[in-house]
């Protein structure tokens, strides 16, 4: 789960990480009032109006603007940015509608640094990555000049060792006494934040050194590890449903794992492993899955129905492949769920079903008697070939 920059900064502040003063705003009037308060508090008539969407690259896309002309200019910028369809390298071509703003004190920036904490799954450790080349596209830096990215791994038993933080500070050119103190304190706070908030990513790009020499987190991106949701009731309030895929959200509410993908073959599968295998075999035969959907082992007929309806309602789906191996899951429950779903929404695309395992005969009987136009498959490979052929006639070899 992702959160907005302003939410990440509010959390940063709780860990003693310096952030600029700022206020979220949901309307132009709120933005104007926030700008007024900030200018009064800082005594400097410079504020930054920042679009709040769950994607980076906002600056280049026109979603971050500095107002040097005080409240009036801030208001004009808020009018322009709020409601705009912001397109960045991370939003995809359709962009994302801006519904929230962050009005922030403008800082005099001397240097922009990149700093991030993430989980390195290969090393099974939290990795701290940093570069002097901050503020810009870090993927580009990693690609063109990987030597400019410094990485350290944290021993989970020892934690972030002071010598590691100092070494990184030197690499970033922050070796002078006061900056070293500020940087190591900040990094320590970020590490504690990463652990306690159950993050999978904390990215500060840029971390800035101001003209006065202070180190401040100017941007904040935070992604939580969804597996830890049970420990964080407060996440419910941080969630912004407008930024999430509506179908994925619905799936979550029903208790099924669903991820939208780019292709056109809808898949209903039980078990994450089988679901991944199904996606692979569809690709193998030249098709493209429209989703990853694992109804799980103990799904009820109602859950299967809801899951199947999600696939049916998607207009990108040109064909459906149901691949069930009934272990704990009973084939008749799946069949009944599918039939119930189509009773309400109809079935206008080809459907291939491969059903094996517990109560398979009962399941097949339900499907046979439903009158639905179903092509049955004798194996996973057979089913994948059939659905690919049905969606793209002539494509399957």
Distances (CA, A) of 231 to 11, 163, 238, 257, 297: 16, 32, 14, 19, 24
Q: Tell the smallest beta-carbon distance from residue 295 to ligand ADP (Å).
A: 37
Q: Least distance to Mg ion from the beta carbon of 56, Å?
A: 6
107 labelled ligand-binding: yes
62 touches ligand ADP by CB under 6 A: no
- Look at residues 149, 146, 168, 155 and name the one whose alpha carbon lies nearest to residue 124: 155
Residue with tokens 């695309």: 349
Q: Choosing from 5, 73, 203, 243, which is the catalytic residue?
A: 203
Rounded to the nearest whole angstrom, what is the least distance from the CB of residue 135 to ligand ADP in the complex? 4
By CB under 6 A, is residue 354 in contact with ligand ADP?
no
Asked if 351 contacts 373 with a C-beta cutoff of 8 angstroms, the reply is: yes
Q: How far apart are CA 104 and CA 83, in angstroms?
A: 19
Q: Which is nearer to ligand ADP, 208 or 267 (CB)?
A: 208
Interacting partner of 58 out of Mg ion, ligand ADP, none (Cβ under 5 to 8 A depending on kind): ligand ADP
- The separation between CA 277 and the C-alpha centre of its own chain, rounded to angstroms, equals 23
Q: Which of 6, 102, 114, 191 is catalytic?
A: 114
Show the site string, 18-37: x = touches ligand ADP by CB under 6 A, - = not. Answer: --x-----------------
Count of CA atoms in the C-beta half-sphere (13 A) of 340: 14
Which one of residues 135, 255, 277, 286 is an interface residue with ligand ADP (CB under 6 A)?
A: 135
Contact 48, 35 (CB under 8 A): no
- Cβ atoms of 174 and 145 closer than 8 Å: no
Which of 113, 367 has the CB closer to ligand ADP? 113
The correct pick among 105, 131, 205, 323 for binding Mg ion (CB under 5 A) is: 205
Which is closer to ligand ADP, CB of 9 or CB of 305?
A: 9
Radius of gyration, CA atoms only, the chain: 26
Token reading at 33: 């009032």
Q: Are strands 257-260 and 64-67 parallel, antiparallel or unpaired?
A: unpaired
Stretch that binds ligand ADP, among 31-39, 52-60, 223-231, 267-275 (CB under 6 A): 52-60
Cα(275)–Cα(273) distance, integer angstroms: 5
Is 285 a residue of the active site? Answer: no
Closest approach of ligand ADP to the CB of residue 85, in Å? 16
Query: Is the distance from CB of 339 to CB of 366 less than 8 angstroms?
Result: yes
Q: How far is the CB of 149 from ligand ADP (least distance, A)?
A: 17
User: Is the CB of 22 or the CB of 319 nearer to ligand ADP?
Assistant: 22
Token digits for 156?
């989970």
Residue count, binding to ligand ADP (CB under 6 A): 20
- Can you tell me the distance from the alpha carbon of 373 to that of 350, in angstroms, rounded to the nearest whole number? 8
Q: Give catalytic status of residue 244 as yes or no.
A: no
- Chain-centre distance for alpha carbon 257: 15
Residues contributing to the annotated binding site for substrate: 270, 327-329
Residues contributing to the annotated binding site: 50, 57-59, 104, 107, 112, 205, 219, 270, 327-329
**Chain residues in the site for ligand ADP (CB under 6 A):** 20, 48, 50, 56-59, 64, 66, 104-107, 109, 112, 135, 205-206, 218-219
- Point out the residues that are catalytic: 114, 203
**Chain residues in the site for Mg ion (CB under 5 A):** 205, 219
């Amino acid at each position: 789960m992702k959160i907005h920059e302003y939410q990440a900064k509010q959390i940063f502040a709780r860990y003693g990480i310096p952030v600029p003063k700022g206020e979220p705003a949901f309307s132009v009037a709120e933005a104007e009032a926030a700008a007024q308060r900030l200018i009064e508090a800082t005594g400097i008539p410079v504020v930054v109006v920042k679009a709040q969407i769950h994607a980076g690259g906002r600056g280049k896309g026109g979603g971050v603007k500095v107002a040097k002309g005080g409240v009036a200019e801030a208001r004009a910028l808020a009018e322009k940015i709020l409601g705009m369809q912001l397109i960045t390298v991370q939003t995809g071509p359709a962009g994302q509608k801006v519904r929230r703003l962050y009005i922030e004190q403008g800082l005099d920036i001397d240097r922009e640094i990149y700093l991030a904490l993430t989980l390195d799954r290969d090393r099974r450790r939290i990795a701290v990555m940093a570069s002097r080349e901050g503020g810009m596209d870090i993927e580009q830096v990693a690609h063109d000049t990987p030597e400019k990215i410094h990485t350290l791994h944290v021993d989970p038993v020892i934690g972030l060792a002071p010598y590691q933080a100092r070494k990184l500070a030197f690499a970033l050119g922050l070796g002078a006494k006061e900056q070293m103190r500020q940087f190591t304190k900040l990094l320590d706070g970020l590490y504690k934040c990463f652990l306690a908030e159950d993050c999978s990513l904390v990215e500060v790009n840029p971390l800035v050194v101001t003209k006065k020499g202070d180190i401040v987190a100017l941007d904040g991106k935070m992604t939580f590890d969804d597996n830890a949701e049970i420990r964080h009731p407060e996440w419910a309030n941080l969630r912004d449903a407008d930024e999430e895929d509506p179908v994925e959200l619905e799936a979550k509410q029903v208790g099924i794992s669903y991820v939208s993908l780019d292709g056109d073959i809808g898949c209903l599968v039980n078990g994450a492993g089988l679901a991944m295998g199904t996606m692979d075999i569809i690709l193998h035969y030249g098709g493209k899955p429209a989703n990853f959907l694992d109804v799980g082992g103990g799904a009820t007929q109602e859950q299967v129905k809801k899951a199947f309806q999600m696939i049916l309602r998607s207009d990108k789906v040109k064909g459906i492949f149901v691949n069930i191996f009934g272990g704990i899951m009973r084939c008749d429950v799946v069949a009944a769920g599918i039939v119930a779903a189509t009773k309400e929404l109809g079935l206008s695309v080809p459907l291939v079903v491969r059903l094996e395992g517990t109560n398979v005969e009962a399941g097949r009987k339900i499907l046979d008697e439903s009158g639905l136009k179903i092509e049955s498959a004798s194996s996973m490979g057979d089913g994948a070939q059939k659905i690919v052929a049905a969606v793209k006639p002539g494509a399957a070899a």
